[in-house]
């Protein structure tokens, strides 16, 4: 038995019903309305800075990193021209000259400038074997770590060419032996 006969008691689907379904799509929700709910209308102007989405591919090394650690977005790049309603031309660096410079708006994400994104570059004195000497600048904190029957004094040391966030905890007795002038 066909489903229509089981539901409505008729042998075949009336032609009028099929036409209504085709014209107005009565059987299911409109797929466009579902996609429009999540769609964002993005517009950029010339001179804006945007990030460019990098398509993830399994096992491919991009920008020196492989897999989950590879960047999702790269940039920021300046928009130089708007092409149509949904395409933009970017000012790409010379290292990316083999890539076409026009991208769909879905591949772009607006860059909001933040002073914390700018890295301060300080020159590092390198030796002939391309190594450099870590020199402590100051002691930031002192702490005593208690184990079962021992107490270990620790100091938080700020190193030259590193920020406060990169300071490390070291044993106080080792630091006193290596750098006695730091404890005066």
Do the Cβ atoms of 116 and 141 come closer than 8 Å? no
84 and 56, same domain (yes or no)? yes
Would 121 be classed as within a structural domain? Answer: no
| Number of domain units in the chain | 3
Would 95 be classed as within a structural domain? Answer: yes
The pLDDT assigned to 34 comes to 77
The pLDDT assigned to 72 comes to 83
pTM to 2 decimal places: 0.47
DSSP-based helix, strand, coil % in the chain, nearest 5: 25, 30, 45
148 and 101, same domain (yes or no)? no
16 and 59, same domain (yes or no)? no
The pLDDT assigned to 60 comes to 56
The pLDDT assigned to 73 comes to 86
CATH of the domain at 147: 2.40.50
What is the layout of strands, in order, in the sheet containing 136-146? Answer: 136-146, 151-159, 168-171
What is the DSSP code string of 96-124? GTTS-SEEEGGGEEEPPP-GGGSPPP---
Successive 10-residue mean pLDDT values, the chain, 184 residues: 72 55 51 76 91 72 66 89 94 89 92 78 75 86 92 92 87 92 84
Do the Cβ atoms of 157 and 175 come closer than 8 Å? yes
Would 19 be classed as within a structural domain? Answer: yes
Domain with 15, as residue range(s), is 3-31
């Amino acid at each position: 038995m066909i489903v229509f006969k089981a539901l409505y008691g008729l042998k075949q689907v009336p032609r009028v019903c099929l036409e209504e379904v085709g014209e107005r799509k009565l059987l299911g929700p409109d797929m466009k309305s579902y996609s429009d709910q999540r769609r964002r209308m993005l517009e950029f102007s010339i001179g804006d800075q945007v990030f460019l989405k990098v398509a993830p591919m399994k096992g491919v090394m991009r920008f020196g990193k492989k897999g989950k650690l590879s960047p999702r977005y790269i940039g920021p790049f300046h928009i130089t021209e708007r092409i149509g309603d949904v395409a933009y031309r970017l000012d790409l660096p010379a290292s990316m000259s083999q890539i076409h410079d026009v991208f769909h708006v879905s591949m772009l994400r607006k860059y909001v400038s933040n002073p914390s994104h700018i890295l301060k570059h300080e020159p590092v004195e390198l030796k002939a074997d391309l190594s450099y000497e870590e020199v402590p600048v100051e002691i930031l904190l002192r702490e005593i770590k208690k184990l079962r029957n021992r107490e270990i004094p620790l100091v938080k040391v700020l190193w030259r060419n590193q920020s406060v966030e990169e300071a490390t905890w070291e044993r106080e007795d080792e630091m006193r032996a290596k750098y006695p002038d730091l404890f005066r």
